[in-house]
Copies of this chain bind each other. A is one copy, B any other.
Amino acid sequence: MSEKKLTLQLDFHSKLPIYTQIVSQIQSQLANGILKPGDQLPTVRALALELRVNFNTVARAYRMLDEARIISTQQGRGTYITEIPPPEVTKKLREESLVELTNRFISEAIRLGFSEREISQMVRDRLNVHKEAKDKE
């Protein structure tokens, strides 16, 4: 039995609905290898209990992931990460995870009152610092 612990961090005050948070966090865990093809996910009820949400909320997230062919849900059996996630799906997932990460960063910065110009300038800046630090190794 290889049921993953699957620790998710929900923000109940977020603009984002719970079910989309579940979807995107599972996606990103798959994108960066925390979850692997074949892994069994917790049951809708188990995960719901842990996250303190209604199991239909988890079921809705699972359904979305199922429709995206990322997981396979089987009534009476459980849910599993798809064995052969089409390469273009994983590629797409990877892309999407960066999109989301970047969006979160930008909206956070905007909320803090920074302008687009300041943000892009700072990103250039810190990327340069990062690059220099790496080159010196």
Which A residues have a C-beta under 8 Å from some C-beta of B?
A: 11, 13-15, 17, 28, 31-32, 38, 40, 69, 72, 74, 76-77, 80, 82-84, 86-87, 94, 97-99, 101-103, 105-114, 116, 118-120, 122-127, 130-131
Contacts and interface: CB of A to CB of B under 8 A. Distances in A.
B109 A122 contact: no
A136 to B, nearest CB: 15
B84 A17 contact: no
The 7 residue pairs across chains A and B that have the minimum distance between CB atoms:
A105-B105, A13-B80, A102-B126, A102-B122, A123-B123, A32-B112, A116-B127
A25 B74 CA distance: 20
Given A101-B108, A120-B123, 6 more contacts: A13-B72, A13-B80, A28-B112, A87-B112, A98-B118, A99-B122
